[in-house]
Amino acid sequence: MSKDPIQMSLKEPARNQPLAEDAEAVPSRVREGILAVPGEFRLHFGGMLTSVSIAWRLTGPAGAPVVVALGGISATRRVWQPDEPRAGWWHEVVGPGLALDTAHYRVLSFDYLGASADSTGPRDGVPFPSVSAYDQAELLLRLINHLGVAFLRAIAGASYGGMVALAFGERYPDRVARLVVISAADRAHPMASAWRVVQRRIVKHAIASGQPAQGLELARALAMATYRSPEEFAARFSGAPRRANEGAEGEGFVLPVEEYLFARGAEYAQRYRPESFVCLSESIDLHRVDAARIFAPVTAIAVREDQLVPLGDMRAMVARLPNAELHEISSVYGHDAFLKENRRLAPIFANCLNVEGTA
C-alpha cells in the first residue's frame, strides 16, 4: 500500500475530455481527464454500476511507449509530478533517471474504481458493490482504448496494483508486452487477510457508531505495523517510553512506536474515505487469478521481509506462470519496499523494459 500526500480538489472536467495540458511549463507532456463509461458496468462479483467515471493521467514524452504504473489501494493517478518531483506517490522510483525512467516512457495511471479520489466510489453512505481486480483491469482496457493506445510496453504494478496487472495479463495478454509485479501474488495469503479483516471490522464498527474517521485512524495504525519489517521497527522504535503527560504520574506511558502508528493513522484518516478503504481492502482479499492462464511475460519481484506477501507465495505463483522470472530482494521496508528501493529496482526495470543506462 502507498501514501499519496496530495489531497486533490480538481473540478471535474467535461466527460471524456482531457484536462488542460501544460506541455510548455514542464519538460514532459501531461494529459489528464475523466473517462465516462456509458451505460451499465457489470462487475465480476455480480454487482452493477451505472455512469462509471475513471480519472486518468498520462505523463511523459509525446510518442514514447506507454507503461501503466499502479500502486496500493491508496495510490492515485498522480504517480509523479514533472513540475514537483516529490509530489507523486511513486516519486522515489518514477522519474527521469529512476527505475521507471520517464525520459523513455509515458506513464499512465488512474484512480481505482471504489477508491477515495476522483473515480466512481462509495459516496455519502450509499452501499457500494464488491470490486475485483478484474473490474479494474477491464476499466484499464477501456481507458487505453479511449486514449488510442493499442499496446502497452508494460504494466508495473505493486501491491494491489500488481493484482490488477495479473488480472489484465490473464484477460488481455495481446495488449501488453510485459507485467512487472512487485509484492503481489495470484491470491491473498490468509494471514494477511486476517489482519485486513480486523481492520475492516474496526472501520465498519466506527461507521455504524458515527465515528468513521476515528475508525479509519485505528485501522490504518494497525495496517502500518504490517507494511514494514521487524528489523526497521527495532532500529527506529527501541527508545524508552514517555509519560502520556510529561511530569505527571498515573497517566500511563506512550511508546515510540505508538506515536508513529497513530500519527500515520491520523494523517491517513484526513485524506481517505473510510468506505473506500473497506471496499478496496476487501478487493485485495477477494483476489484470485488463474496464474496458468497468464501468458503475458511476467517479471515478479519479491521482498524477503514482506509480511503481507510472503516469499513462498511469490515463488509458488511464478512456478504456476507459463512465462515468468522471479527476482528476490531484501529491504527493511518490507511490503513498502516498492515505494523506496529505487536502487534495487532500477537494474530489474532496466533489464525487463530494455532500457540502457538507467541509474
Q: What is the DSSP string of 144-167?
A: HHHHT---BSEEEEETHHHHHHHH
| Of 243 and 200, the one with more pLDDT | 200
Domains, in order of start, for the chain: 29-188+289-353 (3.40.50.1820), 192-282 (1.10.1740.110)
Candidate list 2, 116, 119, 159, residue with the active-site label: 159
Task: Give the span between the Cα atoms of 246 and 223, in whole angstroms.
Answer: 28
Q: Say yes or no to pLDDT of 357 above 80.
A: no
Pairing label, strands 100-101, 106-110: unpaired
Helix axis angle for 160-171 and 274-286, nearest 10°, is: 50
**Contacts of residue 347, Cβ cutoff 8 Å, sequence gap at least 6:** 358
**Contacts of residue 132, Cβ cutoff 8 Å, sequence gap at least 6:** 43, 44, 45, 167, 283, 286, 287
Q: Where are any strands of DSSP class E within the chain?
A: 29-42, 48-60, 66-70, 94-95, 100-101, 106-110, 154-158, 179-182, 242-243, 253-254, 298-303, 324-329
The secondary element (H helix, E strand) that includes residue 2 is none
* Phi, psi of 268, deg, nearest 5: -65, -40
- The pLDDT value given to residue 247: 56
Q: Say yes or no to pLDDT of 3 above 80.
A: no
| Lowest mean pLDDT, pick from 42-56, 57-71, 221-235, 237-251 | 237-251
| Lowest mean pLDDT, pick from 32-36, 58-62, 85-89 | 85-89
As a whole-number percent, the residues of the chain with pLDDT over 90 amount to: 81
**Contacts of residue 20, Cβ cutoff 8 Å, sequence gap at least 6:** none
**DSSP-assigned beta bridge partners for residue 270:** none
Structure confidence at residue 27 as a pLDDT band (50, 70, 90): low
Written as one string, the DSSP assignment of 267-283 is HHHHHS-HHHHHHHHHH
Residue 159 catalytic? yes
Mean pLDDT of 5-18: 34
Structure confidence at residue 250 as a pLDDT band (50, 70, 90): low
The secondary element (H helix, E strand) that includes residue 264 is helix 256-271
Structure confidence at residue 109 as a pLDDT band (50, 70, 90): very high
Please count the other Cβ atoms lying within 10 Å of the Cβ belonging to residue 250. Answer: 7
Task: Give the span between the Cα atoms of 348 and 356, in whole angstroms.
Answer: 12
Q: Give pLDDT tens digits for 277-311.
A: 999 999 999 999 999 999 999 999 999 999 999 99
Candidate list 104, 327, 335, 336, residue with the active-site label: 335
Exposed (0-12), middle (13-18) or buried (19+): which is 204, by Cβ within 10 Å?
Answer: middle
Residue 306 catalytic? yes
Asked if residues 337 and 314 have their Cβ atoms less than 8 Å apart, the reply is no
- The pLDDT value given to residue 252: 86
What's the mean per-residue pLDDT of the chain? 89
Structure confidence at residue 246 as a pLDDT band (50, 70, 90): low
Candidate list 111, 135, 306, 336, residue with the active-site label: 306
